[in-house]
Structure formats: C-alpha cells, structure tokens
Structure 1
Amino acid sequence: MSIPPLKTSTAFLSTRISIAWLPDPPSEPTDTLVLTGTTYYVDLRILKEDGSLDWGMAGVKEMIGGTKEKPVARFTNILDSHLPSSSSSNSTAKSDPSSATSPPLPDEGSFSQLPSGNTLEAGTMVNPATSLPQLYEEEWAPVPVERGATVLILQSISSRAFVGVCGEWALGVYETKDGGYGGWKGKKEGASWTLVWNLGEERVGWVGEEGESWATSWREGDEVEWAGRSWKVLEHSLMGEGRPK
C-alpha cells in the first residue's frame, strides 16, 4: 500500500513581543516560541533574566467564533508546567483527596492583525501571579519558516510529553521522573540539530537523538517508536503560507 502524500499545513511559528495584564502596561520578560498547528500547539516560554522555565505547555486549539477579520480561539492545555505534574499530584491526591488539582481554565482570545503585520491577541486567561482570570493583550510576531518545511507534533504514549517541529526549529515539553517539568529548544544547523536551551537531564524527545525518522513514512494517527519512547503522531504536514494565530 502506498503512503499518502503529506497535506499542506495551516500551522505557523510565532514569538511573543509583549504581554499586558490589563490595566498594567505591556512588557516581555520571556523568550517565547510557539508552534500552533491545525489542532494542537506546543508553547515554550523561557525567562530572559535567568534562563529558567517560565511556562511550558501543549494542548488543543479550537476556533470558537468571531469573524474572519477577528477570529476567536480557545486553547486548552493538556500539559501545563504551572500545575503539579501527574506524578506529584497523584501521590498527593492519594493521601489527601481534597488536594486534587482542578483542570486549568482554557485560554480564550480574539486575534486581529496590526499595521506592523504582527498579531494582537486579546482575551482572558489565568494570571500565574494571582491564579485568577484576568484580561490580557499579547502581541505576536511570525517566525519565518520556509514553505514546504516539515511541521510535526507528537504526543508521548508512554509518558507525558509533547514535541513540536517546524522547519529549522523544534521544542519539547515534558514531565520529569521526579515530579517536575523539563523542556528543550533546538535549531537545525546544516544537517544536524543544535540544543539552544535545555532544562532537565532527561531531554525527552530531543530531535538530535535519533535523527529525522519522521521524514518519509510517518502520518497523522500513527503510533511510532522514536527517541526511546512510544509516540502518537498528532500532526504531520508541510508548511503552507503560515498565518498569524
């Protein structure tokens, strides 16, 4: 049986220019890179001050309304480093059921294009500083990706981890064995991948470990063995025009 050709993707890669928790003014304390696929996303935010993990997350994107000029999307995290990991929360819940963590509230925002070509996201999400929902505005800039480049999002079957690849960039977010979170960011240079940022010794799903096994036969829905783990291929496509969120 022949392998079906890859679809053209509506995915895009973006970096955040600023965030404002209204009514406070905008600022940007992080180096943020987000791969937004057709249905899934992987989002890695690193504090500029000390290189620590500010927020790592991955989940499901849904378009829930708005207009063509100002669509509204909902982002629901499956993996969220602002919450206790499954191993730490499960052990706590067994000893104290009342301490079980509630699922995170979804992030809902509208998107409009700015004169600069960047995108303004405005909506409501939980402010990590207060743990309360708050109005926010974020400005996003597109990261250039060559048309026809690989877009790949994987979810681990054997552990809680996500990997995203978009052209020459790749990022991973995962739960660690000790009940915390780890992550990495890589950039392709020539035929190999260079580790740009890393947190944790496990480096789950690191693309530099086994090479680009996905390049030929992996298709969406497949279950594959790669980098020492079992993964489900959530998205695999070729970069299209790439548009704002």
Structure 2
Amino acid sequence: MPSASISERRSIRWVPEPASEPTSTLVLTSPGSHFVDIRVLKLSYFKQPKFANDSSSTARIDWAFAGQSHSEKATTEGAASHGRWEHWVDSRSDDPQVDEGDMFPQPSGLVLEKGRGPHPTTGEITDYEETWRDLKIQSTDDEDKKCAIVLRTAGNNKDSIGMVVRVGSWCQGIIKSGGNLHVERWRWRSRDTYAPVSVGAIIGSEDDSGGWSVQTFPTESGTWERVVGMGRGTLPCPLTFKPEGLEQGQTTDVGDITWEVIERSEW
C-alpha cells in the first residue's frame, strides 16, 4: 500500500512563461491514495479585493478537488513515475476529468511534475511544470502515533458530494451541495508551539491579513486551528480530530448529509 503524504506546491510554470506561485496549495494523500487538493489565491495575486474579507465567497479558491490518485510506471524518459488523479468532486466542474503528470525527482529534494492542462488565462491546453515538496507527517498525541482518516459523502439525495482527508497534523475538506461550494483547511499545533495565526492566514502566504473567521478545536495535546474556510456549507473535519471514536465503515450525519469513514489507519 502507498504511504501517506503531505505535499506543498512551490511553483507552477505555464510553458514558456516564468515560474511563480500565486496560491497556497496543499495536497493531503492517505495511505489508500484518497486525496484532497486545495489551492487558495494569495492576496497579492487576488484580482477581486472586495471579496477578500468575505468568508462566504469562493472567489479566492483557485481550484479545489478530491478523489483518488494512482501511480504508474512512467513511459517518459527520465520520469520516475506517472501520476493520475481521479476527481470525484471538483470546484471547477460537475463532470470532472482525470488529470495526469510525469514525476521527475530533483537533486534539491523537490519533485518536478510535467503535464498538460487548460491555461488559466487563455483556456488553451498548455504544457505546465509544477514543483512540489513533501512536508513531514507529525503525530498529534503524546504517544507519537500518526493517523490518516478519510470521510466521504455522496449525499442522501445525490445533491451533495464531498471528502475530508486528515493526515497527521493537517486536515482538509471539500463539499459541493445544493449549488454551494465549501472548503476548509485545518492545522494542529502542540501545546508547546501553539500560537494563534492571524485571521485569514494560510500556509505559504506572508501577505494575508484578512479573510474568514478563525476557529479552534483544543485537544489534550494541542490545538487544531482552521486556517482556511471559504464558501457556504458544513464539513465534518473536527470529527477526525478524535480518531479513537471512528471506525472504517461508520457513518455519521452532519445536518442532513451522511458521511462515511472509508479509510482509517495508524502507524
């Protein structure tokens, strides 16, 4: 079984343009290859400032999607592997497709991903290059155990679809329901290192000072803090903060939406 991972994007380049990083992009992937990928525009790249402090707005969501990934043998010379990401829920489409890319490990420790996709400005299919780094998976308890939990809903009336993935000290979720989109990102900090982040702060963004209401969820060993929360809806991210109360196959209702634990693992 593949291992869990926490991947932060460092840059994107639409060939032949120069590389940049207009977003805070984080991907959480479980041992079972379920993932949530959330990409939030940094304020310095945001073109609609009137929405910057509106947590119900989704204008700063560059892209958010979730599903299951697959790693295959690469056919491109020099590539270590070929990745495919099935999108079960996608902020950009109600009929999402599979996206693919070739992975090239770099001497710096980063991974270069090469593929083709729609250019955000022109809409034309264009070659892209992304660089990624893996973050360390941290334990959130005093016994140094790490866990991964995946919740999924297809909606009681098929009008809702969403996924929540927790890996170690990070948790992300996305749901589309009744025409609304909602995404969240949570980060855990230990008792010794916890300090409240500024309202609207997101990983990798030094220029964000406004956005959404910060929420916290204290535990015995530290505090979970919601560092991204956009759109309208409810996600069961806090359920994953106490994994001892969850078992694979278990279902729980959040409002009128039923969520199922489709994966739970510890190591």
| TM-score using structure 2 length | 0.70
- Call closer, same or farther: CA 1:211–1:28 in 2, change over 3 Å: closer
Q: Which residue of 2 aligns with 1:174?
A: 175
Measure how far apart 1:201 and its partner are.
4.1
Q: Work out whether residues 161 and 174 of structure 1, in 8 Å CA contact, stay in contact via their aligned partners in 2.
A: yes
Question: Matches of 2:162 and 2:97 in 1, distance apart?
Answer: 20
Question: Matches of 2:227 and 2:117 in 1, distance apart?
Answer: 29
C-alpha deviations, 1:46-105, integer Å up to 9, x for none? 10125621111001212232179611011121111112x5xxxxxxxxxxxxxxxxx334
C-alpha deviations, 1:136-157, integer Å up to 9, x for none? 1100011111364111122113
Measure how far apart 1:227 and its partner are.
4.0
Q: Work out whether residues 9 and 151 of structure 1, in 8 Å CA contact, stay in contact via their aligned partners in 2.
A: no
- Call closer, same or farther: CA 1:132–1:218 in 2, change over 3 Å: farther
- Stretches of 4+ moved more than 6 A in 1? none
Q: Which residue of 2 aligns with 1:97?
A: none
- Call closer, same or farther: CA 1:146–1:189 in 2, change over 3 Å: closer
- Aligned residues, how many? 209
Query: Letter of the aligned partner of 1:17 in structure 2?
Result: R
- Call closer, same or farther: CA 1:138–1:167 in 2, change over 3 Å: same
- Call closer, same or farther: CA 1:199–1:57 in 2, change over 3 Å: same
Secondary structure of 1:215's counterpart equals: helix
Name structure 2 gaps, 5 residues minimum: 47-51, 53-59, 140-144, 191-218
Query: Letter of the aligned partner of 2:184 in structure 1?
Result: W
Q: Work out whether residues 157 and 232 of structure 1, in 8 Å CA contact, stay in contact via their aligned partners in 2.
A: no
2:116 counterpart of 1:124: yes
Q: Which residue of 1 aligns with 2:201?
A: none
C-alpha deviations, 1:103-124, integer Å up to 9, x for none? 3342111112111111111112
2:224 counterpart of 1:224: no
Query: Letter of the aligned partner of 1:224 in structure 2?
Result: T
Question: Matches of 2:33 and 2:230 in 1, distance apart?
Answer: 26
- Call closer, same or farther: CA 1:105–1:202 in 2, change over 3 Å: closer
Q: Work out whether residues 206 and 227 of structure 1, in 8 Å CA contact, stay in contact via their aligned partners in 2.
A: no
Q: Which residue of 2 aligns with 1:45?
A: 39
2:81 counterpart of 1:63: no
Q: Which residue of 1 aligns with 2:90?
A: 80
Question: Matches of 1:146 and 1:226 in 2, distance apart?
Answer: 29
Question: Matches of 1:129 and 1:234 in 2, distance apart?
Answer: 37
Q: Work out whether residues 17 and 139 of structure 1, in 8 Å CA contact, stay in contact via their aligned partners in 2.
A: yes
2:175 counterpart of 1:146: no
Name structure 1 gaps, 5 residues minimum: 1-7, 86-102, 240-245
- The alignment-based identity, stated in percent, is 29
Secondary structure of 1:66's counterpart equals: coil
Query: Letter of the aligned partner of 1:143 in structure 2?
Result: L
- Call closer, same or farther: CA 1:194–1:137 in 2, change over 3 Å: same
| TM-score using structure 1 length | 0.76
Q: Work out whether residues 29 and 167 of structure 2, in 8 Å CA contact, stay in contact via their aligned partners in 1.
A: no
Higher mean displacement: 43-52 or 161-170? 43-52
Question: Matches of 1:69 and 1:108 in 2, distance apart?
Answer: 13
Pairing of 1:87-102 with structure 2 (within 5 A): none
**Which structure has the higher relative contact order (CA within 8 Å, separation 6+)?**
1
Measure how far apart 1:29 and its partner are.
0.2
Q: Which residue of 2 aligns with 1:133?
A: 125
Question: Matches of 2:79 and 2:264 in 1, distance apart?
Answer: 27
RMSD of Structure 2 on Structure 1 (CA): 2.4
2:253 counterpart of 1:236: no
Measure how far apart 1:39 and its partner are.
2.6
- Call closer, same or farther: CA 1:156–1:213 in 2, change over 3 Å: farther
